[in-house]
Amino acid sequence: MFHKIAKVSFWSVAALSISLSAIAVRAQETAAPATPAAKPMHARVTVTGCLRNGDSADEFAIAGEDGMTWELRSKTVKLDEHVGHTVTITGVRHQETKAEEAKDEKTEAKESKEAEAKEAGDLRVTSLKMVSDSCKK
Assigned domain for 77 exists: yes
pTM: 0.57
Q: What is the CATH number of the domain that holds 60?
A: 2.40.50.500
- pLDDT value, residue 103: 61
Assigned domain for 105 exists: yes
- pLDDT value, residue 100: 59
Assigned domain for 75 exists: yes
Domain count along the chain: 1
> How far is C-alpha 85 from the geometric centre of its chain's CA atoms?
28
Assigned domain for 125 exists: yes
Note the pLDDT tens digit of each residue in 50-73. 999 988 888 999 988 888 899 999
Assigned domain for 115 exists: yes
Contacts of 124 (CB under 8 A, 6+ apart): 73, 74, 91, 92, 94
Residue type, 8: V
Assigned domain for 25 exists: no
Assigned domain for 34 exists: no
**Residue 55 zone, left/alpha/beta (φ > 0; ψ -120 to 50; rest):** alpha
Instruction: Please tell me whether residue 104 adopts helix, strand or coil conformation.
Output: helix
Assigned domain for 123 exists: yes
- Cα 118 to Cα 15, 44, 111, distances in angstroms: 72, 20, 11
- Domain of residue 63: give its range: 44-132
Q: What is the DSSP string of 47-60?
A: EEEEEEE-SSTT-E
DSSP tag of 16:
H
- pLDDT value, residue 8: 72
Ranges of the chain whose pLDDT falls below 50:
35-36, 39, 113-114
What is the C-alpha separation between 127 and 38, in angstroms, rounded?
24
